[in-house]
Amino acid sequence: MSQTLIKNIHLLVTNDPALGKSELGLIENAGMVIENGKISWVGASESAPTAEKTIDAAGKAVIPGFVDSHNHLIFAKDRATEFSARMKGENYSAGGIATTVAATRKASDDDLLSNASRLVHEGLNSGTTTVEIKSGYGLTVKDESRSLHIAKQLTDETTFLGAHVVPSEYKGRADEYVDLICEQMITQVRPYAKWIDVFCDKGAFTTEQARKILKAGVAAGLKPRLHANQLQQGDGIALGVEVGAASVDHVSHFNSQDIEKLAASKTVATLLPGAEFSTRSIYPDARRLISAGVKVALASDCNPGSSYTTNMPLMIALAVREMFFTPEQALWSATKGGALALQRDDVGHLAVGARADFVILKESSYIHLAYRPGVNLIDEVWQHGKRI
């Protein structure tokens, strides 16, 4: 099989502290060899082995591809009018989800697939090489199951979010809808889903309902994750830790007990600065989590309501400016942190054996991702060892 050497990398981020400086495993003047879609050698450029093909990355930085662990891509129609109303002073509420549910139910499978595929490619072009996709705009047995069937064509990281909101036909009968999820939906979606998620928040599902749904999902072989504390302080983080969730997501509100629980667990806190940006909400202070030892991921939360962007470099810039991450912490959270949130050890780092998913930046350092916000710094994106 052919080998490709990337030589003269000004700064290589491996995310493996055994390979280089700091948590980012930084190597200056590095080389990296790719073979069979994986990394087969990493080290100093001058000691790199020869390869059939060589690429000179002089002056540029190479980073792992972004692992965007939280997205809602199976939907029809956008909600630009709702965004505009918010920017004129309206508040964001979970209620807007119903608008997208109505449009999604009416859309054809082909339209849903081509819209989601467009967004996956948009993300790929900005450096996202692993993407998670949730259902949650179908909310019937048939529409949730087709949403996940479509999502599965685009990624292995598929999440059943039938518990996004209570659909209008179940208004006032939330517990009956919870039973529908537990008794029928989980079985139908199981072949297409890896994860189960619940929006546990004001206007969505209570902690008790969320616990019941997550337990039913786990019993059926799905792995738990949770939308927790986006809109208000609640028990979502505690519940996520209790059920061994891979990640609790949003966590825009948390208290010191939440921090202690997360720090003592394996549950990742996934922060979604695009949601704070697009709902004009207060950003959480990531320093409180990181300094307590909580593992933190960053994701784009691409969806037509609260965060209509696939751009991970923007998430890094917002996280640094608004959530007090350092540039190093933000890059780690958008790569290795996302991999931990998806319990993946083959992506999010660039050590021997890892998937050859990486980005060559136009600049000499990853710092520029936050330092030059809004500028396209992506020179090349490689996925499974192939330049896209």
Site residues for ligand NIG per CB under 6 A: 72, 96-97, 100, 199, 227, 230, 275, 301, 303-307
Residue 100 contact, options Fe ion, ligand NIG, none, Cβ 5-8 Å cut-off depending on partner type: ligand NIG
Whose Cβ is closer to Fe ion: residue 144's or residue 301's?
301
Whose Cβ is closer to ligand NIG: residue 144's or residue 357's?
144
Residue 335 contact, options ligand NIG, Fe ion, none, Cβ 5-8 Å cut-off depending on partner type: none
Query: Could you tell me if 317 and 298 are in contact, meaning their C-beta atoms sit under 8 angstroms apart?
Result: no
> Least distance in Å: CB of 45 to ligand NIG?
42
C-alpha 25/C-alpha 319 separation (Å) is 21
Whose Cβ is closer to ligand NIG: residue 50's or residue 81's?
81
C-alpha 76/C-alpha 74 separation (Å) is 7
> Least distance in Å: CB of 76 to ligand NIG?
12
Structure tokens at 327: 């540039």
> Least distance in Å: CB of 19 to ligand NIG?
35
> Least distance in Å: CB of 24 to ligand NIG?
28
Residue 199 contact, options Fe ion, ligand NIG, none, Cβ 5-8 Å cut-off depending on partner type: ligand NIG
> Least distance in Å: CB of 120 to ligand NIG?
17
> Least distance in Å: CB of 319 to Fe ion?
16
Residues 6+ apart with CB under 8 A from 346: 353, 354, 355
Locate all alpha helices (DSSP H) within 153-263, ordered by sequence: 174-180, 186-189, 207-219, 236-242, 256-263
Residue 306 contact, options ligand NIG, Fe ion, none, Cβ 5-8 Å cut-off depending on partner type: ligand NIG
Whose Cβ is closer to ligand NIG: residue 96's or residue 217's?
96
The number of beta carbons lying within 10 Å of the beta carbon of residue 235 is 17
Whose Cβ is closer to ligand NIG: residue 16's or residue 82's?
82
Taking the C-alpha atoms of 9, 340, 313 and 385 in order, what is their torsion angle to the nearest 10 degrees? 40
Residue 225 contact, options Fe ion, ligand NIG, none, Cβ 5-8 Å cut-off depending on partner type: none
Report the interface residues with Fe ion, using CB under 5 A.
301
> Least distance in Å: CB of 33 to ligand NIG?
39
DSSP β-ladder status, 66-68 and 128-134: parallel
Whose Cβ is closer to ligand NIG: residue 104's or residue 383's?
104
Residue 146 contact, options Fe ion, ligand NIG, none, Cβ 5-8 Å cut-off depending on partner type: none
> Least distance in Å: CB of 267 to ligand NIG?
17
What three-state secondary structure class fits 250?
strand
> Least distance in Å: CB of 162 to ligand NIG?
13
> By C-alpha distance, which of 270, 273, 274, 338 is closest to 305?
274
* C-alpha dist (Å) from residue 267 to 103, 261, 293: 34, 9, 11
Whose Cβ is closer to ligand NIG: residue 143's or residue 363's?
143
Whose Cβ is closer to ligand NIG: residue 6's or residue 139's?
139
* C-alpha dist (Å) from residue 91 to 96, 227, 231: 11, 19, 11
E strand or H helix that includes residue 10: strand 3-13
DSSP β-ladder status, 378-383 and 358-361: antiparallel
- Nearest residue to ligand NIG, using CB? 305
DSSP β-ladder status, 26-35 and 38-44: antiparallel
Residue 128 contact, options ligand NIG, Fe ion, none, Cβ 5-8 Å cut-off depending on partner type: none
Whose Cβ is closer to ligand NIG: residue 33's or residue 139's?
139
Residue 127 contact, options Fe ion, ligand NIG, none, Cβ 5-8 Å cut-off depending on partner type: none
Structure tokens at 372: 């030059």
CA 175, distance to chain mean position in Å, is 29
C-alpha 203/C-alpha 226 separation (Å) is 15
> By C-alpha distance, which of 242, 296, 240, 243 is closest to 272?
296
